[in-house]
Structure 1
Amino acid sequence: MNLTMIKEFKLPDLGEGLTESEILSWKVAVGDTVTLNQVIAEVETAKAVVELPSPFAGVVAQLHEQPGTVVEVGKPIVSFEVDDAGSSSGGGAADAAGGSAGGASVKGAPATAAAEAVGSPAKREPNLVGYGAVVEHSGRPARRARGQVQEIKPQSPATPAISGPAASPQAEAAVSERPRSTPPVRKLARDLGIELERISGTGPGGLITRDDVLDFSGASSAAAQAQVPPAEGGRETRTPIKGVRKFTAAAMVQSAFTAPHVTEFLTVDVTATMELLAKLKGNRSFEGFKLTPLTIAAKAVLVALRNNPTLNSRWDEASHEIVQFNYVNLGIAAATPRGLTVPNIKDADRMSLRELSTALTELTDTARAGKTSPGDLSGGTISITNIGVFGIDAGTPILNPGEAAIVALGAVRKAPWVVNDELAVRQVMSLSLSFDHRLVDGEQGSRFLADLGAILADPAMVMTMI
Structure 2
Amino acid sequence: MTTMTQTSARFREFKMPDVGEGLTEAEILKWFVQPGDTVTDGQVVCEVETAKAAVELPIPFDGVVHELRFGEGTTVDVGQVIITVDVAPGSTEEAPPAPAASAAPAAPAAPAAPADEPKTRTPVLVGYGVAESSTKRRPRKGAAAPEAAAVAAAVQAELNGHGSPAAAPAPAADASPVARPLAKPPVRKLAKDLGIDLATVVPTGKDGIITREDVHAAASPAPASAASPAEVPSVAEPVAVSATEAPAVTASARETRIPIKGVRKAIAQAMVGSAFTAPHVTEFVTVDVTRTMKLVAELKEDKEMAGVRVNPLLIIAKALLVAIKRNPEVNAAWDEANQEIVQKHYVNLGIAAATPRGLIVPNIKDAHDKTLPQLAAALGELVATARDGKTSPAAMAGGTVTITNVGVFGVDTGTPILNPGESAILAVGAIKLQPWVHKGKVKPRQVTTLALSFDHRLVDGELGSKVLADVAAILEQPKRLITWA
**What TM-score does the superposition give when structure 2 sets the normalisation length?**
0.69
- Asked whether 1:78 is paired with 2:94, we answer no
**Alignment pair present for 1:248 and 2:276:** no
Shift of 1:31: 3.5
> 239, 247, 256: which one pairs with 1:237?
256
**Larger Cα-atom Rg:** 2
- Checking the alignment, whether the CA contact within 8 Å between 2:454 and 2:464 is kept in structure 1 is yes
Structure 1 equivalent of residue 426 of structure 2: 407
Q: How does 1:53-452 map to 2 (within 5 A)?
A: 53-82=58-87, 102=110, 129=125, 163=155, 166-167=158-159, 169=161, 227-228=247-248, 230=250, 234-452=253-471
- Deviation of 1:226 after TM superposition, in Å, equals 6.8
Please give the alpha-carbon distance, in whole angstroms, between the structure 2 residues aligned to 1:70 and 1:331: 28
Q: Report whether the alignment pairs 1:7 with 2:26.
A: no
Letter of the aligned partner of 1:56 in structure 2?
A: F
In 2, distance between residues paired with 1:167 and 1:10? Answer: 18
CA contact (8 A) 1:331 1:384 kept: yes
Measure the CA separation in 2 of the matches of 1:20 and 1:234: 32
Deviation at 1:288, TM superposition (A): 2.6
Aligned AA for 2:41?
L
Instruction: Find the aligned partners of 2:346 and 2:193 in 1 and give their Cα distance.
Output: 41
Change in Cα spacing, 1:45 to 1:282, as seen in structure 2 (3 Å) is same
* Equivalent AA in structure 2 for residue 359 of structure 1: A
Look up the SS of the partner of 2:383 in the other structure: helix
Q: Specify the code of the residue in structure 1 equivalent to 2:27.
A: E
Q: Specify the code of the residue in structure 1 equivalent to 2:9.
A: T
Q: CA 1:28–1:370 in structure 2 vs 1: closer, same or farther (change >3 Å)?
A: same
Question: CA 1:160/1:348 → structure 2, altered by over 3 Å: closer, same or farther?
Answer: farther
Give the Cα separation in 2 of the matches to 1:311 and 1:240: 38
Q: CA deviation at 1:30?
A: 2.6
Distance 1:280 1:170 in 2: 62
* 1:227 Cα deviation from its structure 2 partner: 4.8
- Contact preservation (8 Å) 2:44, 2:56: yes
SS at the partner of 1:360? helix
* 1:300 and 1:455 in contact (8 A); partners too: yes
What is the deviation of 1:265?
Answer: 0.3
Superposition TM-score, scaled by structure 1 size? 0.71
Distance 2:314 2:22 in 1: 32
* Unaligned residue ranges in structure 2 (runs of 5+): 1-7, 89-108, 129-135, 141-148, 164-188, 197-243
Per-residue CA distance 1:151-198 (angstroms, 9 max, x = gap): xx9767799899386257599xxxxxxxxxxxxxxx9x977769xxxx
Structure 1 residue identity aligned to 2:427: A
1:456 aligns to what SS in structure 2? helix
The aligned amino acid for 2:477 is D
Instruction: Indicate the larger mover: 429-438 or 283-292.
Output: 283-292
Match of 1:176 in 2: none
- Correspondence for 1:137: none
Superposed CA RMSD in Å reads 3.5
Unaligned runs of 5+ in 1: 84-100, 105-116, 133-152, 172-186, 195-223
Give 1:225 deviation, angstroms: 6.9
Q: Secondary structure at the match of 2:308?
A: coil
Report the number of matched residues.
Answer: 369
- Kindly indicate whether the alpha-carbon contact (under 8 Å) linking 2:35 and 2:159 is maintained by their aligned counterparts in 1: no
Q: Which of 18, 30, 37 in structure 1 is aligned with 2:35? A: 30
Report runs of 4+ in structure 1 exceeding 4 Å deviation. 101-104, 117-120, 122-125, 129-132, 153-162, 167-171, 189-194, 224-227
Answer yes or no: is the 8 Å Cα contact 1:4–1:81 preserved in 2.
Answer: no
Deviation for aligned residue 1:464: 3.2
Matched position secondary structure for 1:340: strand
Secondary structure of the residue aligned to 2:257 is coil
Please state how far the C-alpha of 1:10 moved relative to its aligned partner. 2.0
Distance of 1:307 and 1:425 partners within structure 2: 32
Identity of aligned residues (%): 56
